[in-house]
Amino acid sequence: MIADIVIVIAAALFIGVYVSWRAGRIDRLHARVDMAQAALDATLLRRSSVALELATSGLLDPATSLLLASAVHGTRGGDRPRDLAESDLTRALRAAFSQPDFRASINGKEGADELLAEVEAAAHQVFLARKFYNDVVAATREARHRPLARVLRLSGRAKAPEFFEMDDSLVAENTGAPLGR
């Protein structure tokens, strides 16, 4: 009798520990999603601010500048969804950087190399940050999808995180050349 009770209590304890461990994991995953999202956010913001800096630097011709500036403007809470707006900025940057002789036309101007390097670094960081973010989102969604998590509502009221899809390819599709090379 006592043995039975001990077994039941032990089993309940074990299940409880297991469930709370799962719940904790999901919670930690959500926290990691938040962090990854903040990081992605920061890199996107950084990218758009250096792109705007490039647009207003006077290094480029006015048409390219205007193109970049309006793409940057689009990423700052317009009526266009964010993923589309950010993709637009990527394409605008790619169009600017893949002009023939783009480097040669800017070379030698004050601060040009640093600024271009900064834009490229920011664009590359967006690429990384989005990759990490989508990784953790995938893991979280998988964990939330487990039968146990679904039955016991282990994720609580937290909403399922969404993937962030955008065009952040550094390589121009038509030329095969890496951005700006």
Partner 1 sequence: MAVAVSERLTGVAYRLGWTLICRVPQAWASWVFAKAAGIAWRRQGPGVQVLEANLRRVLSWKYGTDEVDGKELRTLSRAALLSYARYWLEVFRLSVTPTERLVAGMRFQGPNEATLFANLKAGRGVIIALPHMGNFEQAGVWVIARGAGKFTTVAERLRPESVYESFLRFRRSLGFEVLPLTGGGSPFGTLAQRLRGGGLVCLVSDRDLKESGVEVEMFGQKARISAVAALAVHTGAALMPTATWFDGEDWGARIYDEIAVPDTGTRAEKIAAMSQALADRFTEAIAEHPQDWHMLQRVFTEDLDPARLPQIQVPAPRSAAMKVGITCPYSWDVPGGVQSHIRDLAEALLDAGHEVSVISPADDDTPLPPYVTGAGRAVPVPYNGSVARLSFGFLSVSRVRRWIKDGGFDVLHVHEPEIPSLSLLACWVASGPIVATFHTAIPRSRVLLVTYPVVRTGLEKINGRIAVSEAARNTLVEHIGGDAVVIPNGVATSRFRKAEPLPGWPGPGGAIGFLGRMDEPRKGLSVLLKAFTTLGSERPGLRLLIAGRAADPEEVLQRVPAELRDRVVLLGQINDEEKVRALHSVDVFCSPNTGGESFGIVTAEAMAAGVPIVASDIDAFRQVLRGGEAGELFSTGDAGDLARAAGRLLDDPARRAALSAAALVAVADYDWSVVARSVLSVYETVVLGSTQVAVTASGGEFP
In the complex, the smallest distance separating the C-beta of residue 130 from partner 1, rounded to whole angstroms, is 18
How many whole angstroms separate alpha carbon 113 and alpha carbon 148? 55
Q: Which of 22, 73, 82, 141 is close enough to bind partner 1 by CB under 8 A?
A: 73
Interface positions, 91-110, toward partner 1 (CB under 8 A): 91-92, 95-96, 99-102, 105
**Residue 168 interacts with partner 1 (CB under 8 A)?**
no
The backbone torsions φ and ψ at residue 176, rounded to the nearest 5 degrees and listed phi first, read: 75, 5
Residue closest to 19 by CA, chosen among 135, 175, 154: 154
**Residue 178 interacts with partner 1 (CB under 8 A)?**
no
Q: Which of 67, 126, 136, 149 is close enough to bind partner 1 by CB under 8 A?
A: 67
**Residue 63 interacts with partner 1 (CB under 8 A)?**
yes
Nearest to partner 1 of 34, 61 (CB atom): 61
- At 96, list the tokens: 């600017």
Per the listing, tokens 């990691």 go with 32
| Cβ atoms of residues 180 and 54 within 8 Å | no
- Residue 138's CB: how many other CB atoms inside 10 A? 12
- Calculate ∠ Cα 160-136-44, nearest 5°: 95
**Residue 54 interacts with partner 1 (CB under 8 A)?**
no
Q: Which residues bind partner 1 (CB under 8 A)?
A: 55-56, 58, 61-67, 69-74, 78, 80, 87-88, 91-92, 95-96, 99-102, 105
